[in-house]
Structure 1
């Protein structure tokens, strides 16, 4: 049972999670600001 399998992306779902985090992280402040503005009004 090889621990290192080159090219096996399904072996580690952390990569997809990391990509989603990197894509979604910059959008977080905008969402918070939008929610805050809608709460203030």
Structure 2
């Protein structure tokens, strides 16, 4: 987990893989929020 923040701190430009990783996190969070909404 620390490696992600190290890479983000040392690098000024974002790579394509970083954007894909963030997108995957957003999709996972959205699905989790939907699940929590239907299963309180």
TM-score (norm 1): 0.47
Q: Which has the larger radius of gyration?
A: 1
Which of the two has greater helix per residue? 2
